[in-house]
Amino acid sequence: MKPLAFLFILTLTAAAAEKSVQYSVRGLFQPDRKAVFVNAAKELENCSLVSVDYDTARATFKYEDEAKGFKKVKPEQILLLIDTQIRKSTHYTFSLLQPGALPETELKRIDFNIEGLDCLGCSYGAYNAVVTLKGVERATANFHDGKLTAFIDPSQTSREALAEGLKKKDVKVIETATKQ
């Protein structure tokens, strides 16, 4: 009976050491990029991808807090450890960030129709022109439908600021439409 109780306690201790974290994914700018991200995450060492949500650009990872590389690491350093692996395995086309503090319901959706958005590279260029701007929580740019969508914190940025960011990168907006 004692060995069985010891095994039960050991199992509980091991399960308690497993942690999960959720981060925003930069580089997830169109639906087919999700598969690329999932494949890259298969190369992670001492942690694994649990789920990825394209619509919110969020990914959940799990790791053992006693695993090599994660032992005695502060929680704020976990992001750096996983992000470094993701960046390297994707040749820096994906990165991870702390999720924004603003609730999803308070983000404002802004849509643009983009001229010449006809390939993956063009989509990435348009995406990158806005996703790096202050106040942009996430964005998508899809060459299949020629649209760019950004979800912003309206207290930090505006549709006009996004349009200006696109213009600076020589991305031509055909027409703008704003949706809440």
- Tell me the per-residue pLDDT of 40-70, one tens digit each, with 9 for 90 and over: 999 999 999 999 999 999 999 999 888 888 8
- What is the spatial distance between Cα 126 and Cα 147, in angstroms, rounded to a whole number? 10
Q: Let me know if residue 173 belongs to a domain.
A: yes
Contact 97, 59 (CB under 8 A): no
Dihedral, 38, 94, 18, 70 alpha carbons, nearest 10: 130
Residues 88 and 68 in one domain: yes
Cα 16 to Cα 34: distance, rounded to the nearest angstrom:
30
**Do 103 and 56 contact (CB within 8 A), yes or no?**
no
Based on the fold, state whether residues 58 and 129 are members of the same structural domain.
no
Q: How confident is the model at residue 117 (pLDDT cuts 50, 70, 90)?
A: confident
**DSSP three-state, residue 115:** strand
State how many domains the chain has: 2
| Residue 148 lies in domain | 104-179
